[in-house]
Structure 1
Amino acid sequence: MSGAPLRLGTRTFGPDELVVMAVVNRTPDSFFTRGATYAEEAALEAVDAAVAGGAAIVDIGGVKAGYGDVVSAEEESRRVVGFVGRVRERHPDVVISVDTWRADVGDAVARAGADLLNDAWGGHEPGLLEVAARHGVGYVCTHTAGLPPRTDPHRPAFDDVVADVRDALVALAQRAEAAGVRSDGIVIDPAHDFGKATRHSLAVTRRLDELTGLGWPVLVALSRKDFVGESLDLPADERLEGTLAATAVSAWLGARIFRAHDVVATRRVLDMVGCIRGTQQPAVVRRGMA
């Protein structure tokens, strides 16, 4: 099952395909882009650029993951539902993901054309599973160590963080299947930083093959996160190289989807990993052939 295809929207991704998921946040306070794509036209331009740069999935968010102003379900819907419809009209074959934990928002975006519900808070609202099943869309299972939405960890402790992540993700993926979510649309995400200190996220990365062998495609959201920043003692706008190093390691260990702010750089890293491991051919072959 670890080599099973992943079907999202009109796309089917093979087991050796490394997929870029572009981040497009319709929020005024995102930790890295700081509202650059809050305005709808700016967000549409970001989607266009991401697709042109090699992203097969765009992940649209209407609420900042961390602490910040309260965002009601109505306001979240205002930010993302109509925008999903515009992206669908503009890019009929791109996979549209929406980062939400709310069942009502999930239902609205699925009706508007979303193909994947990225539940970044680990089943906080169980009704989101039923929404995914009812609409036949994909669902991302995440490990957050039981934290409620928009909560940072405080001195998290695990006997074995990878075992905890593994057991929680298996349980949530099985719950999704039991709820009727398509088995070829379920993705698991260890959720770097979420519910974890830096040493935990590093351990998850180092031992990612223990998760990629479980049978469901693994998504990693590494882009410019705190575990990268703390490893290198760098702010968010200087974390690209660290992010790409973690990306290459994760790809080598079997991750299949890579949530990224820097689409072109991520696409190039994944193409190089694919060529090294022999699942992708070089784009050109000239050396020694003249």
Structure 2
Amino acid sequence: MTTSPITGLPQDRCVVMGVVNVTPDSFSDGGRWFDPGAAAEHGLDLVRRGADLVDVGGESTRPGALPVDREEELRRVVPVVRRLADAGVVVSVDTMWSETAEQSIEAGAAIVNDVSGGRADPRMVPLVARADVPFVVMHWRAHSDQMQQHTDYDDVVEDVVSELRSQYAAVCEAGVDPERVILDPGLGFSKTGDQNWTLLAHLERFTDLGRPLLVAASRKGFLGALLADSVGPRPVDGREDATAALSTLAALAGAWGVRVHDPRPSADAVRVAARLRSEAARG
């Protein structure tokens, strides 16, 4: 199997990033893995269920979520990163804050996944540049408690592509190796449900930017709305089939990775997509 120059992960198919939320208030699984030991065990279980890497975060970024004290985020995240890295897991740290990123890298994190794309903390990009680790740059306009006030676009695809391209250029100009950057269109961040669907229908515009693309659609509210019945939106635990469907479509569109809460269905989905892409390439 060939490997990616970014992370040492497979490059003959879309990779699957499992999610560990060490939070009391994340939209999908807040409070389930709040204990560091339970969180680490959950991360190991995600790998057993097909995750290629595990993304550990200690601050909810759901719409309306309030910031977490930096010391609290460190307390939540770093012990989990260390336990997983010591067990041989490829770990991504999901944080906007340089101190958490730095201590997580020291604890063994291989990737920094910053939903602000380096814009929330001016010390983040210089840190990533010095550490020379892969950096996920997500399209971002505002913090979670304000982001849904910033959903105005002239053309959501062209505007998000343009803004994400500018964020990418900014982090590279500040010293991050362009070959270490992964891009994320930021589904659900300063986007309405309809805008999420429009972006998903045009993923090729993001792969055309020439960098690996991470798609994070797992269990999000726009899926709940699509699957709603007379009672209301489909609960988060009932959105896994729809998540796997999007993982298939993202992989077929050439995405580098998908970020999901339950890896098994998506791990199967990306392998199906890889087989189909291989067959299509053979003509």
Q: Same fold per TM (> 0.5)?
A: yes
TM-score by length of 2: 0.90
Give the Cα–Cα distance (whole angstroms) in 2 for the partners of residues 69 and 164 of structure 1. Answer: 27
Give the Cα–Cα distance (whole angstroms) in 2 for the partners of residues 104 and 89 of structure 1. Answer: 20
Task: Name which of 42, 45, 48 aligns with 1:49.
Answer: 45
User: Residue 272 of structure 1 aligns with which residue?
Assistant: 272
Give the Cα–Cα distance (whole angstroms) in 1 for the partners of residues 59 and 100 of structure 2. Answer: 11
Give the Cα–Cα distance (whole angstroms) in 2 for the partners of residues 12 and 184 of structure 1. Answer: 15
Is 1:81 aligned to residue 78 of structure 2?
yes
Give the Cα–Cα distance (whole angstroms) in 2 for the partners of residues 47 and 220 of structure 1. Answer: 20
Unaligned runs of 5+ in 1: 281-290
User: Residue 179 of structure 2 aligns with which residue?
Assistant: 184
Task: Name which of 21, 25, 36 aligns with 1:40.
Answer: 36
Q: 1:246 to 1:173 in 2, by over 3 A?
A: same
User: Residue 286 of structure 1 aligns with which residue?
Assistant: none
Q: CA RMSD in A?
A: 1.9
Q: Could you tell me whether the CA contact under 8 Å between 2:66 and 2:144 is conserved in 1?
A: no
User: Residue 7 of structure 1 aligns with which residue?
Assistant: 6
Task: Tell me the secondary structure at the aligned position of residue 153 of structure 1.
Answer: helix
Q: Write the mapping of 1:111-260 to structure 2, written as runs, cut at 5 A.
A: 111-122=106-117, 123-144=119-140, 146-154=141-149, 156-233=151-228, 234-260=234-260
Report the alpha carbon displacement of residue 65 of structure 1 after superposing the two structures with TM. 0.8
Report the alpha carbon displacement of residue 279 of structure 1 after superposing the two structures with TM. 6.7
Report the alpha carbon displacement of residue 70 of structure 1 after superposing the two structures with TM. 4.6
Q: 1:165 to 1:279 in 2, by over 3 A?
A: farther
Q: 1:279 to 1:169 in 2, by over 3 A?
A: farther
Which deviates more, 200-209 or 227-236?
Answer: 227-236
Task: Name which of 19, 23, 28 aligns with 1:27.
Answer: 23
Q: Could you tell me whether the CA contact under 8 Å between 2:142 and 2:150 is conserved in 1?
A: no
Give the Cα–Cα distance (whole angstroms) in 2 for the partners of residues 179 and 154 of structure 1. Answer: 29
Give the Cα–Cα distance (whole angstroms) in 2 for the partners of residues 165 and 279 of structure 1. Answer: 32
Q: 1:175 to 1:219 in 2, by over 3 A?
A: same
User: Residue 71 of structure 1 aligns with which residue?
Assistant: 68
Give the Cα–Cα distance (whole angstroms) in 1 for the partners of residues 101 and 24 of structure 2. Answer: 21
Report the alpha carbon displacement of residue 25 of structure 1 after superposing the two structures with TM. 0.8
Q: Could you tell me whether the CA contact under 8 Å between 1:121 and 1:149 is conserved in 2?
A: no
Which deviates more, 190-199 or 28-37?
Answer: 28-37
Task: Tell me the secondary structure at the aligned position of residue 172 of structure 2.
Answer: helix
Q: 1:68 to 1:124 in 2, by over 3 A?
A: closer
Report the alpha carbon displacement of residue 150 of structure 1 after superposing the two structures with TM. 4.3
Unaligned runs of 5+ in 2: 229-233
Give the Cα–Cα distance (whole angstroms) in 2 for the partners of residues 109 and 52 of structure 1. Answer: 23
For residues 29-72 of structure 1, give each alpha carbon's deviation from its aligned partner in whole angstroms, at most 9, with x where no partner exists: 22111311111121111111111222121100001113346520
Q: Could you tell me whether the CA contact under 8 Å between 2:18 and 2:261 is conserved in 1?
A: yes
Task: Tell me the secondary structure at the aligned position of residue 98 of structure 1.
Answer: strand
Give the Cα–Cα distance (whole angstroms) in 2 for the partners of residues 52 and 135 of structure 1. Answer: 29
Q: Could you tell me whether the CA contact under 8 Å between 1:64 and 1:150 is conserved in 2?
A: no
User: Residue 90 of structure 1 aligns with which residue?
Assistant: 87
Report the alpha carbon displacement of residue 13 of structure 1 after superposing the two structures with TM. 4.2
Q: Could you tell me whether the CA contact under 8 Å between 2:150 and 2:190 is conserved in 1?
A: no
TM-score by length of 1: 0.88
2:78 is matched by which residue type in structure 1? V
1:77 is matched by which residue type in structure 2? L
Q: Could you tell me whether the CA contact under 8 Å between 1:6 and 1:13 is conserved in 2?
A: no
Give the Cα–Cα distance (whole angstroms) in 2 for the partners of residues 120 and 68 of structure 1. Answer: 14
Is 1:18 aligned to residue 32 of structure 2?
no
Give the Cα–Cα distance (whole angstroms) in 1 for the partners of residues 146 and 243 of structure 2. Answer: 23
Give the Cα–Cα distance (whole angstroms) in 2 for the partners of residues 173 and 219 of structure 1. Answer: 14
Q: Percent identity?
A: 34
